[in-house]
Structure 1
């Protein structure tokens, strides 16, 4: 009798537990999304039973890997330029591209640094002959946005010779947190997750192109699960998580 009752309990619990997919879902995501996406991945796993495996790096690096056939099912880009690149290369399904979040830019310094309103003299004095850490403005979305923000203040020509271009925005953030450089230009969401920096100035969104994150399916892997993840990303649970990390959730 006891063994029969135990079997019934086990079968009931199994029925209530989401079936776990045999293969995990692979998502390539911009480095600045790490903490938010890890939380969203856990929420998706809890709801569907599907494991999500993320690869985080600079958007350009990921885009080239996807173009070369890397087995990512979903691509999360930090700007439209790289999403257009993989779309034109036929590496993502154009009809699945959608926006899901936006961000802002901030100037940061090591923890405890005094606020600073950007000006040629102010930046030069604060740098003191050191470098301004930022993502590479030639290839990385955060760097492109950062260059545009500095140009909007008429500062790019004054600081371009002092820029230390990094492979992604998180590398720039780490350089400031370690004290390798007195200033860095990163996303506001990056500054929120790094206790070793202080925000010195927030750039107005009006002086640079809108910072939009976009998602798309690549056509690789389990398309049903990948589509499910894309829908989940636009749903209320994911939007709440994005907001909790400082992103502005986007309706697409």
Structure 2
């Protein structure tokens, strides 16, 4: 009788210990913790950054914060600037030129002390893979070229840089009548890739993603203003903490490897110069 009673007590004791242990594991298991609500981060970025920014998103969510949902809005830097000026809900802006970022800074639309240059690129002349007639910028002024695709210089930074190169080479007057202006640099690339034009001027990184085109000339750096991609958090961002963290990640070493893989380079950052408001 005593043995049965002792066994009964042992079973009760063991059950209580097992229950308490299970509860403790439940409380300490992170999988049972309430999940944080998703943070949506809207990033407006220049068209030339499409592929690399998708890769950056994967890396950021995997290594940094899986609780952030990044929503991209790609377009010409000028059109993105106008959207922001008109009140579009944007947390982070990455332009393909200082001009558009300067205009937003002049209107006090950037969050103080978040602007910095993050990338550089090169300006190149491209033709279709099978075109062997055009080998240099000077060929644009000859009968070898009937039509050339350029970005709209007022809203597309690549178009602005292209115009500067043509002026530097004294080619603008001869080329203007042949120009087909595009709404963004990817449209220029598409026109050349599909043989709708004889040549186009784009970023080196754009040329690298299309097997239908080839680079025939690289514009000297002193033939145009510096190609820089500035980044900043917007002053009206509803997710300042997440936006600032994303910008820090973009400018860090882990992102550098991804940018270099896609052909971009990292320009030196002079924080003092970046804080100046353009005249």
Asked if TM exceeds 0.5, the reply is yes
In 2: Cα distance, 1:117 partner to 1:104 partner: 15
How far did residue 80 of structure 1 move?
0.8
Aligned length: 244
- TM-superposed CA distance for 1:123, in Å, is 4.1
Structure 2 distance, partners of 1:222, 1:14, is: 26
Q: Which residue of 2 aligns with 1:62?
A: 80
Q: Which residue of 2 aligns with 1:96?
A: 114
Task: Output the CA distance in 2 between the equivalents of 1:20 and 1:246.
Answer: 36
Distance 1:213 1:197 in 2: 24
Q: How does 1:141-180 map to 2 (within 5 A)?
A: 141-180=157-196
Residue 88 of structure 1: how far off its partner (Å): 1.3
Q: Aligned Cα RMSD in Å?
A: 2.3
CA, structure 1 residues 44+210, in 2 after alignment: closer, same or farther (shift >3 Å)? same
Partners of 1:117 and 1:170 in 2: how far apart? 21
Please name the residue that 2:276 is paired with: none
Residue in 2 aligned with 1:183? 199
- Alignment correspondent of 1:195: 211
Q: Give the distance between the partners of 2:54 and 2:243, measured in 1 at CA.
A: 16
* 1:20–1:112 CA distance, 2 compared to 1 (3 A): farther
Q: Which runs of 5+ in 1 are unaligned?
A: none
Match of 1:208 among 220, 224, 233: 224
Taking a change above 3 Å as real, the CA distance of residues 146 and 55 of structure 1, as seen in their structure-2 partners, is: same
Residue 109 (structure 1) aligned with residue 93 (structure 2): no
Q: Is the 8 A contact 1:87 1:94 kept in 2?
A: no
Please name the residue that 1:242 is paired with.
259
1:126 is displaced (CA, Å) by: 2.4
Displacement of 1:76: 0.3
The answer to whether the 8 Å contact 2:97/2:230 transfers is yes
Give the TM-score normalised by structure 1: 0.89
C-alpha displacement of 1:14: 7.3
Q: What is the aligned counterpart of 1:118 among 118, 125, 137?
A: 137
Is contact 2:45–2:94 with CA below 8 Å preserved after alignment? yes
In the superposition, the TM-score normalised over structure 2's length comes to 0.81
Structure 2 gaps of 5+ residues are 1-17, 270-279
- Local SS of the residue matching 2:238: coil
Rg larger in structure: 2
